[in-house]
Amino acid sequence: MADVAGGGEKYRLENLGDDDFQRLVQVLVDKASGGTARCLPLNQSDGGVDVANGRGGIFQVKFTTSAPQNKSAWLEGILRGESKNFDRLIADEGMTSYYLVTNVEGSATPVKGDRAKIDKVLEEFRAKYKIQFYV
């Protein structure tokens, strides 16, 4: 799980829980967007949007309390599951970039690590939808 270093301390994001992790992401996106973010309510059907930054950025938050064995497959499954929303988000919400925000860390090993594997999926989605994708 993700340890975020800060001032000599480690913040274990999984200790936040699902709702507090999503609230943290919403606050950070709102702050970064100058207070223009639209934060959707928690624990409701959201159609692929947890936060919209007001500039075409759509943020989907996914949280887990236990690290999946195959992290890249877990992330790919989420992206493919959410992809049913992408055409509508582009047409109706003006989505120009999609951010999947999670507390799951992937390995950075070149070529065969989780990051390299998920980057291939992101490239596939960038080519298909003609927008930017980030995890």
Instruction: Check if the beta carbon of residue 133 is closer than 8 Å to that of residue 101.
Output: no
Across the range 92-119, mean pLDDT stands at 91
Task: State the architecture of 3-134 in CATH terms.
Answer: 3-Layer(aba) Sandwich (3.40)
> What phi and psi values does residue 36 have, to the nearest 5 degrees?
-100, 0
> Band of the pLDDT at 6, cuts 50, 70, 90?
low
Residue-wise DSSP of 35-90: S--EEPPTTS--TT-SEE-SSSEEEEEE--SS--SSHHHHHHHHHHHHGGGHHHHH
pLDDT per residue as tens digits for the range 91-100: 999 999 999 9
Q: Against a cut of 0.85, is the pTM above it?
A: yes
Question: What pLDDT shows up at residue 1?
Answer: 45
**Buried/exposed 42-75: b ≥16 CB within 10 Å, e otherwise:** eeeeeebbbbbbeebbbbbbbbeeeeeeebbebb
> Band of the pLDDT at 8, cuts 50, 70, 90?
low
The full set of domain ranges for the chain reads: 3-134
Across the range 16-24, mean pLDDT stands at 94
